[in-house]
Structure 1
Amino acid sequence: MPPKTSPAELAAAKQFGHELRRMRTLSDMSQLELGRATGTSKQQVGAIERGNRRPSKRFTQLADEALKAHGRLQNLWPGAKRAQPWWLEEFVELEAKAQVIYEFQPQAIPGLLQSEDYARAVIGASFPPLMEEEAQSVFEDRMARQQLFNRVPTPLTLFIIDEGALRRRIGGAELMRKQLASIVDRAQQPRVQVQVLPFERGAHSAMNGPLVLLDMSHAESLVYAETPGAGQVITDAHVVGNCQQQFGHLRSLALSPDQSLEFITSL
């Protein structure tokens, strides 16, 4: 009996197939032509594009070359061992290029603002527990995301953090003191704004989870939605518009940037 394919593997295969079909179409190449370039049949190419057949590493390399994908398909290969899933890799790639980043976090400090010790403590709380090598790789990837603050031009980053995330003691009192001080230091940068959403504001529209929006340009924005074990980049204009309004409403409920830094300092 063949081994059962996990939902994550199925999702990765469908993501690969979707990208393969998109790049083949952009290249004006037929399935038959791509099959000849990769040593496979038209039917096999079609099955891979539908996510019904897992591509071999050899097929992935040849398809990447034939479509001039510059490594894009190889990075999406379902058999690759990753420290983070493909859907998170896609978001991180977009995040690094965004002009404006809007993020609301109700449970934890945003990854872009996490100190090294805080990040290690959060990663260490994963369940099932991560192996040491895997945990280290996840940690390094998370810290690498913060390099965008050194980018020229630096993106505008707007964070709203729920009071609960600030009060949740991760790793002990001293670690949290340093984490909160780190947020205050980061907020001194001219293109970084931090606001706190206090408990006293009561119910609000984002109580169902985090909210992350990216402005890639003046004309292109997207939403990143994540659930346990899955994530999705959403470009639908209606959804993006609703989320932009939602973030604006959260900003109106939150303390002002100056009040927020005073609040964080008081903790």
Structure 2
Amino acid sequence: MDNTCRTPRTPREKYGEELKLRRIAAGLTQEQLSEIIVCSPTLISHYEAGRRLPKPDDARRIDRALGTDGFFERWLEDLESKHPDFFATVAELEQQAAVIRQFALSLVPGLLQTEDYARAVFRAYRANYTTEELDEAVVIRTGRRRILEGPAQPVIWTLLDEAVLRRCVGGPQVMSKQLHKIAELAEAGRLRLHVLPYGAGAHALLESYLTLMSFEDSAPVAYVEGFLTGNLMDHPALVAASQTAYALALSDALSQQESLALVRAAAEEHLHGRQQ
């Protein structure tokens, strides 16, 4: 009898496994199926691994290709995410990534936000809101931090423009607490922290928020985000260009020790009113 402990399959993994079984039964390779539904073979691989879900139109094409009579499109409705559509796949992928490299231009990355900081962010761009709506949004966002509780994976690199440290979000106490939290995670070895100082001038990521994710058994992806929109890229050339831009920006950043000192200093300046 096999007593080996196995990680329970998620609903998305079950979806992916069923897709793989139906594809093989139809006598199709990942490449052949990707040609039929007009996507990359890498994307089919992500679907079958449970890392990503097809969009409704893609699920409809999968059903036509495999002759499954709407099966995958209907099942998709039961797997809806609590996150916005443009971010739902990213939220799933970061739970499975081996390495996450994130860059933030003006805002603390959602993965690292404290409850009070996140609440201030949500409050700022909602013209009308209720306490209940803010509470729900904060719970969803801060729930992503569970991946920080493990001692090993994912390995997280965090590159911050100095503007992230200087903008006072939620008030001096909220901002100070947020920056100290980031510093504590770095000092505990849970993330690698670097800051791009104002003195660096123009840098390779000056125009965009960027997250890079690598996996143990699948191709890497890159994600860029703007207001109410995001773009998840898996095309090798685009991912490679994003990785190069990150490396270039990182080369202009302060060392981890210098970055920690700057983050701690900024936290104290917020708290004691010495921000410029």
* TM-score using structure 1 length: 0.73
| Pick aligned residue for 1:75 from 71, 79, 97 | 79
The aligned runs of 1:161-176 (5 Å cut-off) are 161-176=160-175
Shift of 1:130: 3.5
Q: Distance in 2 between matches of 1:130 and 1:212?
A: 29
| CA 1:199–1:172: 2 relative to 1, 3 Å | same
Q: Distance in 2 between matches of 1:218 and 1:249?
A: 26
Shift of 1:154: 2.1
Counting aligned pairs with the same residue, the percent is 29
Q: Distance in 1 between matches of 2:215 and 2:181?
A: 27
The residue identity in structure 1 corresponding to 2:61 is R
Greater shift, 226-235 or 159-168, is seen at 226-235
Q: Distance in 2 between matches of 1:94 and 1:204?
A: 27
Match of 2:122 in 1: 123
| Secondary structure, aligned partner of 2:100 | strand
Paired residues of 1:223 and 1:243 also in contact (CA < 8 A): yes
Match of 1:113 in 2: 112
Please state if 1:18 is matched with 2:58: yes
The aligned runs of 1:1-267 (5 Å cut-off) are 15-22=55-62, 24=63, 29-30=66-67, 33-34=68-69, 63-64=74-75, 72-76=76-80, 83-151=82-150, 153-217=152-216, 220-267=219-266
RMSD: 2.2
Greater shift, 250-259 or 217-226, is seen at 217-226
Q: Report how many aligned residue pairs link the two structures.
A: 213
Q: Distance in 1 between matches of 2:128 and 2:213?
A: 31
Paired residues of 1:121 and 1:171 also in contact (CA < 8 A): yes
CA deviations over 1:121-146 (Å, ceiling 9, x no partner): 11111233444333222111111100
Shift of 1:228: 2.1
Q: Distance in 1 between matches of 2:156 and 2:239?
A: 17
Paired residues of 2:151 and 2:190 also in contact (CA < 8 A): no
| CA 1:256–1:152: 2 relative to 1, 3 Å | closer
| CA 1:129–1:98: 2 relative to 1, 3 Å | farther
Paired residues of 1:20 and 1:73 also in contact (CA < 8 A): no
Q: Distance in 2 between matches of 1:139 and 1:236?
A: 32
| Secondary structure, aligned partner of 1:204 | coil
| Secondary structure, aligned partner of 2:232 | strand
Q: Distance in 1 between matches of 2:252 and 2:218?
A: 27
The residue identity in structure 2 corresponding to 1:29 is L
Match of 1:7 in 2: none
Greater shift, 192-201 or 217-226, is seen at 217-226
| Secondary structure, aligned partner of 2:66 | coil
Shift of 1:169: 0.8
Shift of 1:221: 0.4
Gaps of 5+ in 2: 1-53, 267-276
The residue identity in structure 2 corresponding to 1:95 is E
